[in-house]
């Protein structure tokens, strides 16, 4: 199992191992993730970092045998209708920058989400999203860039275009290109009301990357602190032969060194098939 850790979800100074690492600096966090057994990195804020820092991060990941599993496609405009609209100039600029980063890191996935435009029919927005993805898919593939389409649970974040797993799967299948894949976020899928192992089996052919968080009400919590059946979920991932990274996509409930260590211990126990 290849695990990925993040360099910040709600803010760039709140990485997964903020207290176990030497500092919250991305290079220190890459080292901390590698030291604790992670082999992939997620960075939602990568596009906002200076070019020199991006290069240093790529070099450090290569030195530590790590990969960039995903980064935020539009960190300042993630909840706007960029991908589902007709501003092709802005979209082209975003994809060009994403492709540059994919080349720098030797390939990566970029998260694609779109805000809902209340003034346009949903069907028209989905059609534009599909066409925009189709337009850039071949160029993305040449640069080692995978466009990861992520559905977002309405209970977690309202006013997003793709708030149902079925809609995201339909878009991926309509584009039908290997560089356009599904981001299967276990927490969001569970919040949508799906049986996660069943959903995994139903859309396994579309999945490009898996993100993991446990669910407690409307909150994303550490794996093992919520209500999800992780033995069944990991069994389903094995059954469908998912070979990729599983990114931890939550902030530790206990944001301290002890809390982060406990989070890693619970995760290790679940992976070994024990109760946390």
Encode the chain (276 residues) as per-residue pLDDT tens digits: 899 999 999 999 999 999 999 999 999 999 999 999 999 999 999 999 999 999 999 999 999 999 999 999 999 999 999 999 999 999 999 999 999 999 999 999 999 999 999 999 999 999 999 999 999 999 999 999 999 999 999 999 999 999 999 999 999 999 999 999 999 999 999 999 999 999 999 999 999 999 999 999 889 999 999 999 999 999 999 999 999 999 999 999 999 999 999 999 999 999 998 655
Q: What 3-state class would DSSP assign to 163?
A: coil
The count of C-alpha atoms lying within 13 angstroms of the C-alpha of 221, restricted to the half-sphere facing its C-beta, is 15
What pLDDT is recorded for position 174? 98
What pLDDT is recorded for position 10? 93
Inside any domain, residue 263: yes
Dist. CA 199–CA 117, nearest whole Å: 28
Dist. CA 6–CA 257, nearest whole Å: 16
What pLDDT is recorded for position 218? 87
Inside any domain, residue 226: yes
Q: What 3-state class would DSSP assign to 149?
A: strand
Inside any domain, residue 45: yes
Inside any domain, residue 276: no
Indicate the number of domains in the chain. Answer: 1
Inside any domain, residue 113: yes
Pairing between strand 40-43 and 180-185? Answer: unpaired
What pLDDT is recorded for position 274? 61
Q: What is the CATH number of the domain that holds 35?
A: 3.20.20.150
What pLDDT is recorded for position 273? 86
User: Domain residues for 188?
Assistant: 2-271
Dist. CA 196–CA 190, nearest whole Å: 6
């Amino acid at each position: 199992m290849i695990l990925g850790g993040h360099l910040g979800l709600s803010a760039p100074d709140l990485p997964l191992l903020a207290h176990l690492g030497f500092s919250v600096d991305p290079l220190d966090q890459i080292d901390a993730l590698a030291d604790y057994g992670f082999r992939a990195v997620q960075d939602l804020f990568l596009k906002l970092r200076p070019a020199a820092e991006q290069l240093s991060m790529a070099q450090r990941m290569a030195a530590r045998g790590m990969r960039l599993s995903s980064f935020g496609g539009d960190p300042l405009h993630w909840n706007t209708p960029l991908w589902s609209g007709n501003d092709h100039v802005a979209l082209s600029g975003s994809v060009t920058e994403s492709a540059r980063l994919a080349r720098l890191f030797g390939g990566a996935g970029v998260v694609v989400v779109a805000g809902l435009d209340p003034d346009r029919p949903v069907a028209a927005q989905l059609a534009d999203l599909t066409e925009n993805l189709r337009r850039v898919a071949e160029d993305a593939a040449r640069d080692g860039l995978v466009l990861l389409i992520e559905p977002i649970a309405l209970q977690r974040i309202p006013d997003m275009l793709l708030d149902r797993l079925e809609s995201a799967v339909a878009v991926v299948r309509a584009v039908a290109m290997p560089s356009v894949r599904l981001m299967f976020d276990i927490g969001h899928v569970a919040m949508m009301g799906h049986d996660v192992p069943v959903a995994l089996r139903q859309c396994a052919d579309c999945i490009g990357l898996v993100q993991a968080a446990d669910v407690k009400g409307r909150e994303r919590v550490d794996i093992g602190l919520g209500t999800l059946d992780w033995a069944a979920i990991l069994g389903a991932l094995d059954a469908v032969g998912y070979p990729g990274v599983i990114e931890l996509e939550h902030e530790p409930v206990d944001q301290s060194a002890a809390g982060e260590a406990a989070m890693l211990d619970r995760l290790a126990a679940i992976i070994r098939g024990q109760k946390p």
